[in-house]
Structures are given as structure tokens and as C-alpha cells.
Amino acid sequence: MSFEYPKHIAIIMDGNGRWAKAQNKPRTAGHLAGSENVRRIALHANRNHVKSLTLYAFSTENWARPEEEKNYLFKLPAIFFKKYIAELKRENIRVTYIGEIERFPQNTARIIKDAVAQTAENTGLNLCLAVNYGGRREIVTAAQKAAEKLQKKEIEEITEEEFASCLMSETSDVDLLIRTSGEIRVSNFLLWQIAYAEMIFVSCAWPDFDENQFDECICEFHHRNRRFGGLK
């Protein structure tokens, strides 16, 4: 494409289960196909010099899913990183995560943290996985940290900048938020960071969201008039 990609793109990867149902497959097959698509979109974003790609992998609300489905989701990081960690390292992609990962099974948390450690020196795309993450929870914990700093007189006042430094995410504000599978809501995802994000909702399920559809979203992003509250 002839124009620059946004620096920070966030994606709500929705529709794995519906994709599987449409093909008369179990929901787990949809989640596996969705994890394969993480690789495809991450590599494409990296090739086009996106700085950060934040993916909603497991929300705080996903604990309400059936036990069988949750147990499979906990196995996916091992399947994914065993298959692709060498490629991510070779392609200079850095893996990070946001969320309270401590609640995950120990082996799942260990595998994710190991991927973070193995790619820590990479300087390309920051592939950030939101795991056991909720936007409201992130804001509450940030408020607690900021209040503690104020109480200890480490800061003089709680500014927006100081508050933002207490968030889980180390990435910048989101430029573009994409949600697949036709739902039109943000589902408690990066509530602080999407304050001025452009939002695009596409009808296809996440496993079918390919590089061309990704680029169509980028094209639409560049046709938006981003005024940030001002006039242009």
C-alpha cells in the first residue's frame, strides 16, 4: 500500500466459535484457526512497520465460558509458541502481554512469559497479547497505584500522564481498533487507550480476516478525518 500504517492497532478477535459452527466443527477448531491467524496478521503488520499490535486473547469475562473451552484456550499458547516462536524471533517480533496472568494455570503463564523473555531484545512489531484482561480492571488498578504514589508523596498530583504510566499497557494510545465478526461494541477492551481511536467493525469472523481485509481497514482509517476535538 502507498500510505503509512497506524503505529498502534488493536484487534478484538471475535467469531472463532461461530466460524467453527458454520463449518460443523467444535468451537476448539475455531480457536485453533484463530490462533493460526494471529501469526498471519502479526507477520503482515510487522512487514508494514506497525509498531504495536494488541490482540484481545482472553478477557476477564471469558472465565464464564464452559470448562472444556477454557481448558483448550489455556493450551493454545503452548501450541502456538511451540510452532512459531522461532519464526517470531527471526522476524524481529517482540511478544509482550497485558493482564493479570497470575490467575492462569502455571504452565500457561510460564509459556507466555518464556515467549516474552525469548523475544525481549527484538525491535520490530510489539505483539501484545491481552490475557485475563479487562479495561475497567486496568483503570481500577491504575487508580490504586496512582493514589498510593500520591499518598507516599512520590508525585504531587495525579495528571493524565501520571495516571497513564500506572496502566498495565506499555504501548501508546490506540490509533485503530478493529473488531471482527459483526459485533459493534468494544467489550471492555483498552478503554483508556482507545479514547481517540478510529473504530472499524467488519463482518467476517477472525479466522477469515486476512491481509487484504486488514489493508482495507487501513485504507478506511486513512479516509477518516481525525480532528481530536478540534477543527480541520
- Name the band, by pLDDT with cuts 50, 70 and 90, for residue 163: very high
Please spell the DSSP secondary structure of the chain, one letter per residue.
--SPPPSEEEEE---HHHHHHHTT--HHHHHHHHHHHHHHHHHHHHHTT-SEEEEEEEEGGGGGS-HHHHHHHHHHHHHHHHHHHHHHHHTTPEEEEES-GGGS-HHHHHHHHHHHHHTTT--S-EEEEEEEE-HHHHHHHHHHHHHHHHHTTSSSS--HHHHHHTSS--S---SEEEE-TT--S-TTSSTTTTTT-EEEE-SS-GGG--HHHHHHHHHHHHHS---TTS--
Which pLDDT score is estimated for 230? 60
Q: Residue 32 and residue 13: Cα distance in Å, rounded?
A: 12
What does the domain layout of the chain look like in residue ranges? 8-134+173-223
Find the mean pLDDT for residues 207-211: 98
Find the mean pLDDT for residues 183-189: 97
Active-site hit among 62, 188, 208, 215: 62
Concerning whether 14 is annotated as a catalytic residue, the answer is: yes
Tell which residue, 132, 126, 129, has the closest CA to residue 99.
132
- Residue 126 above 90 pLDDT? yes
- Name the band, by pLDDT with cuts 50, 70 and 90, for residue 169: confident
CATH label, 8-134+173-223, candidates 3.40.50.2000, 3.40.1180.10, 3.10.150.10, 3.40.50.2300:
3.40.1180.10
pLDDT tens digits for range 61-84: 999 999 999 999 999 999 999 999
Mean confidence (pLDDT) of the chain = 94
- Residue 20 above 90 pLDDT? yes
Contact of 129 with 34, CB cutoff 8 Å: no
- Name the band, by pLDDT with cuts 50, 70 and 90, for residue 151: very high
- Residue 46 above 60 pLDDT? yes
- Residue 228 above 60 pLDDT? no
Concerning whether 71 is annotated as a catalytic residue, the answer is: no
Which pLDDT score is estimated for 3? 72
> All 3 cell numbers of residue 26?
467444535
pTM of the model: 0.94
% of the chain residues with pLDDT over 70: 95
- Name the band, by pLDDT with cuts 50, 70 and 90, for residue 39: very high
> All 3 cell numbers of residue 27?
468451537
Residue with cell 480492571: 137
pLDDT tens digits for range 86-113: 999 999 999 999 999 999 999 999 999 9
